[in-house]
A = this chain, B = another copy of it.
């Protein structure tokens, strides 16, 4: 009998009985796994996040991230591991320090091609307008009672960039990291649904048929790139200087992105570094980021009204960002003879290259010869810079 009693105590049944909301979290984990595996929503991140939620919510496994306290923040790595388990060790070493998002940005940079942006530089400007969702949702969130820091971390979901959202959440509102990461990656996966939705109510058929290549023939650009290789090597250095001087607090993100891009563009001389940035470090960082972010989500921290507001607010921020980009193009078209397809504004969002593909597909639906992928990529990539800069501004003023 005593044996059976001890056996029961070893299991998680008791703990689950005490806190049945844990079952809701386990169901959520299964739902996220379904989204990641079955629906193929950003599986590279949603699967580890979902498995992190799963592992964290079996009481007794010691795999959930303990909310930050004064005490735990001053413990050594070994102390954290022994008292709180390896998941906390990884969280306090890799996430709470803010290390992984810059490393992932380095990998993103090593996989980004600034070529389409350089070939259509003017369109990069529309990556700015698509940040408006960040700040409008910030204001709404403040009005709803969120603190400024929380509101900023919520708004940044509208930047449509996973690592940027996570980095900002770490710096401004780490207690909201879980739902913000989930919202950011889920909506990025939902870009093929959200962009058409916003486009439907804002762009007329006539505008959707604007053919960028024909406009280029009518009003040809004066600048032709003669030495793309050399231009692509110098460009990230120039970009780094501009961003770093104006918004130094975005250097950890943008600087690492551009370093990754530089070692890619140099070519074979730095191929080893490129492989390390875009594969070795990137892939390992993705696993650890996903698992630990997932492990922050326990019943006690996740299941409240705030989470719902973040899920809702994130959607609105996304939609307003797309709307902002579209409107900026419309304003441009009022004053310019050379017209731009408003879909180019919609892709200012970030979510590379998904947003561009979606925009291209919409354009092709209205005119099967209207390939605008290369044009969309320009504002799409500049949207990544744009949201990292916006994050830098928020961090600079609020942290």
Contact = CB atoms under 8 A, between A and B. Distances in A.
Interface in A85-120: 85-86, 89-90, 92-93, 96-99, 102, 106
Interface in A1-47: 6, 10-13, 16, 26, 30, 33, 37, 40, 43-44, 47
Contacts of A93: 77-78
A81 B248 CA distance: 17
B86 A44 contact: no
B273 A44 contact: yes
A184 interface: no
A266 B33 CA distance: 11
30 contacts: A10-B248, A10-B396, A11-B246, A37-B233, A37-B266, A44-B273, A47-B273, A48-B263, A51-B262, A54-B240, A55-B244, A55-B251, A58-B245, A58-B251, A59-B248, A60-B249, A60-B251, A60-B396, A61-B244, A62-B251, A73-B79, A76-B76, A76-B77, A77-B93, A78-B97, A81-B99, A106-B287, A275-B279, A275-B283, A276-B284
Assembly of this chain: how many copies? 3
Contacts of A247: 10-11
A397 interface: yes
Contacts of A286: 272-273, 276
A277 interface: yes
A379 B98 CA distance: 44
| 3 closest A-B pairs by CB | A60-B248, A61-B251, A81-B97
Interface in A250-303: 251-252, 255, 259, 262-263, 266, 269-270, 272-273, 275-277, 279-284, 286-287, 291
A202 B44 CA distance: 49
A354 interface: no
A58 B259 CA distance: 15
B13 A255 contact: no
Nearest to A68: B78
A59 B286 CA distance: 30
A237 interface: yes
A246 to B, nearest CB: 5
Contacts of A312: none
B244 A12 contact: yes
A74 interface: yes
A296 to B, nearest CB: 16
A259 B51 CA distance: 7
A86 B167 CA distance: 12
A272 B40 CA distance: 15
Contacts of A58: 244-245, 248, 251, 255
A337 interface: no
Interface in A351-399: 393, 396-397
Contacts of A10: 246-249, 393, 396-397
Contacts of A160: none
A63 interface: yes
B252 A62 contact: yes
